[in-house]
Chain A
């Protein structure tokens, strides 16, 4: 706490000088302590049962999945939830997708397909995030990974259905199933990513997302 420069202490004391509001009686030392205590209580989960922790994390994943599954939810609501990023959901979905595709592939290529899909998901999310930042957008790497990872849900379901039920069905039916999943995934994620950049560059931010899901869709089909 003593590492903070004096200017920051003054900001806490004097408040927001731009609006003219201030709270001169606010004690910075006391303020930092109470804030630290609040943060500690929020994250002090060492004493709670493991099943409580797991239940909370699973609920968090489920809430985010519902925002992905119902793309008509207001973008602002979705943005608020997905800004509180986590990587559990993307990891689980990526692993499920990679496993489904590796089981569907030839026995010789199974391991290679798993590696390629796993790397493509994480590298693709990183590239989309960097692309957004280069276009001047306000998007962080982990938010991008979170959004793209959760929006993999429809494609993961399509890959599972393809593996279990549609292996020996007409190619045309598989195209329809994967096509619907691709449109659903793209629609869910493009809105969020495009909101992060200026309107003149929305198409430039959305195109990589479209390409990312198109490539994964073809992987599932073929």
Chain B
């Protein structure tokens, strides 16, 4: 085809054919020249999902006992984990205040019933620990303890989806009974741990020795207990 085109027309058919390296270099943005990981394009592969896929994965993370893997096609996404993080923060702020208002009506005690900005800032930092830092720690431990480990993006995605159950649990804090709130929190903790176990252990760590898996599992259970206690005694009074 190209032999039928004039020299000028050939240079228009493709952005790269006939282009000098200097022009190609100039077209790269500043961030692209430093490192591709500073550009939006680098992360697009983790957001290449449709709304049906995301809804399907959220449903599986709310009820993970069907036996189906979370990422059926093997393609992980970070859209839902990121927005679960933001949604959980917002729900903790809103329903924390509402729960205190309900407790005030039932217990006839004066609680703080306006938004507490300092608690909101702390919730963002606290949840960042669970959504980013602890997965990084787990990735480091798995890399040290074995030759094969799931990639960091997969661990991030699985953690994000495992905490999705806590978003509807924050709604249940409108129920004015303390026992009911504890039951919902414990059930959510079990579901979250089951998702981590199913996705990371059953589908990724089967090559590891049992005692290592038990050790990592024990640490994860402890971290989830800390999370539930913080949720109950700090953010929801």
- Cross-chain contact B9 with A134 (CB below 8 angstroms): no
The secondary-structure label for the interface of chain B is: helix
Interface string of A100-135 (1 = CB under 8 A from B): 000001100100110010000000000000110111
Interface string of A120-156 (1 = CB under 8 A from B): 0000000000110111100000000000000000000
Report chain B residues within 8 Å CB of A131. 47, 79
The secondary-structure label for the interface of chain A is: helix
Q: In the complex, A105 Cα to B48 Cα: how many Å? A: 42
Q: In the complex, A217 Cα to B49 Cα: how many Å? A: 29
By beta carbon, the residue of chain B nearest A129 is B40
User: A62 interface residue, CB < 8 Å from B?
Assistant: no
- Cross-chain contact A204 with B54 (CB below 8 angstroms): yes
User: B104 interface residue, CB < 8 Å from A?
Assistant: no
Interface string of B60-86 (1 = CB under 8 A from A): 000000000000000000010001001
Chain A interface residue count, CB cutoff 8 Å, equals 32
Report chain A residues within 8 Å CB of B47. 131, 134-136
Report chain B residues within 8 Å CB of A204. 49-51, 54, 79
Q: In the complex, A214 Cα to B43 Cα: how many Å? A: 27
* 6 closest cross-chain pairs (CB), A and B: A203-B51, A200-B50, A134-B47, A112-B117, A133-B40, A222-B115
Measured CB to CB, the residues of B under 8 A from A are 8-9, 11-12, 18-20, 23, 40, 43-44, 46-52, 54, 79, 83, 86-87, 90, 93-94, 97, 113-115, 117-118, 120
Q: What are 29 residue pairs bridging A and B, where the CB atoms are less than 8 Å apart in the complex?
A: A7-B19, A10-B11, A14-B8, A14-B9, A17-B8, A17-B9, A131-B47, A131-B79, A133-B40, A134-B40, A134-B46, A134-B47, A136-B44, A136-B48, A200-B52, A202-B51, A203-B51, A204-B79, A207-B83, A208-B86, A211-B83, A211-B86, A211-B87, A211-B90, A214-B90, A218-B93, A219-B115, A222-B94, A222-B97
